[in-house]
Amino acid sequence: MNRIDRLTGMILLLQSHRVITAEQIAAHYEISVRTVYRDLAALGEAGVPILAEAGMGYSLMRGYHMPPVMFTEDEAAALFLSGEIADQIADESLRDSLRGALLKVRSVLPAERRDYLDRLSKTTRVWLKRPTRAEDEECHQALMRLQEAVIRRRCAALRYDAGNRGEITTRMVEPLGVVFYGRNWHLIAWCRMRKAMRDFRLDRLVDWEVTEEMFHGHEDFSLPAFLEDVIRGKELFPATLVFHAQAMERVRNELMCSRAKETRLPDGRFQVDTLTGSFEWLAGWLMGFGTAVEVAAPLELRAQVRNLAFQIAEAHAGAFEDSETLLT
């Protein structure tokens, strides 16, 4: 990014925050704090009214607004694709707000940019959805209201199916963050029953209600730090798997582990060294590959896959016993 674009962007960054520190600006543009100071001084000399608040950061003088910025084709395309992705993973209430926002963006574009987006929308598709049950869709309607509860610091009453086992518990929680990972939305909240932070999957909500009660505290809570602690705190077990080459595309798409390592073997197969928090889950997932995968290690996982295969075979044996014709 050249300096002119960065200075323009810096005005927009200041305009979008009530106050922002030099360190935050430096992190946003991946530049040094010293460079930020030089850029802010240059903007001030150019007549941009930047205020410095001791111990707080920088802000624009109240009432100052940069004239509307025209989007480039690349920026307009990036907004469109971001909207398409968000449309796939959001609930209906968020989709409505998103469509409204993108419509306003489109309305300020010149005719040639709108034509460009029209052509892009006809030739580009993002498909992330998986089939869901009707009750799953109903539960996902919680997203916007729970986001609002996080911002307004309102308590929420949840009826939650922990582990998706049909054991419903009622929880009063203090919502602190909403995050999307593992193809699901999650509410991070302080659970008053457990007296600890908990991660609630929204598709496991049986019922929910945002109450009028406001909560206080948790000023030092950091959502990124919480997620990092969860990942570090999970006990992970190493596993070595050998896949046929034709199975690797699916492996790369579905095995969501940043620490997985691939090694091509002399016979054309691929050895995948990975970490898992559950041999039971991994064994079930591997069954979908049939004979295109072999567990090299550990023996515990190899035994689980073998036992699961026998259980599946036994579950289907009755069909042959009741039939007069045996398939060979």
pLDDT tens track for 163-179:
667 788 999 999 998 88
Whether 53 and 106 share a structural domain: no
Residue 29 falls inside a structural domain? yes
Residue 13 falls inside a structural domain? yes
**For position 225, which CATH number holds?**
2.30.30
Residue 326 falls inside a structural domain? no
Residue 138 falls inside a structural domain? no
pLDDT value of residue 119 = 72
Whether 41 and 9 share a structural domain: yes
**For position 254, which CATH number holds?**
3.30.70
Whether 251 and 312 share a structural domain: yes
Residue 298 falls inside a structural domain? yes
Boundary residue ending a domain (215, 230, 245): 230
Boundary residue ending a domain (187, 208, 230): 230
Query: Which stretches of the chain score pLDDT less than 70?
Result: 1, 65-71, 73, 87-96, 107-108, 122-142, 163-164, 182-183, 231-235, 256-259, 318-328
Whether 226 and 243 share a structural domain: no
pLDDT value of residue 46 = 85
CB atoms within 10 A of CB 99: 12
Residue 26's domain spans which residues? 3-60
Name the residue type at position 98: L
Boundary residue ending a domain (230, 259, 281): 230
Q: What is the C-alpha to C-alpha distance for residues 18 and 199, in angstroms, rounded to an integer?
A: 31
Q: What is the C-alpha to C-alpha distance for residues 300 and 302, in angstroms, rounded to an integer?
A: 5
Number of domains in the chain: 4
Whether 300 and 246 share a structural domain: yes
Q: What is the C-alpha to C-alpha distance for residues 117 and 167, in angstroms, rounded to an integer?
A: 48
Residues 6+ apart with CB under 8 A from 94: 86, 143, 144
Whether 55 and 88 share a structural domain: no
Q: What is the C-alpha to C-alpha distance for residues 239 and 223, in angstroms, rounded to an integer?
A: 30
Q: Interior CA angle at 225 toward 95 and 149, to 5°?
A: 40
Tokens of 81: 């694709």
Whether 102 and 155 share a structural domain: no
Residue 133 falls inside a structural domain? no
Write out pLDDT tens, residues 107-132: 667 777 777 777 777 666 565 554 44
Whether 214 and 241 share a structural domain: no
Whether 51 and 90 share a structural domain: no
Whether 269 and 287 share a structural domain: yes
DSSP code string of 192-256: TTTTEEEEEEGGGEEEEEEEEEE----TT--HHHHHHHHHHHS--EEEEEEE-GGGHHHHHHH--
pLDDT value of residue 309 = 92
Residues 6+ apart with CB under 8 A from 265: 242, 271
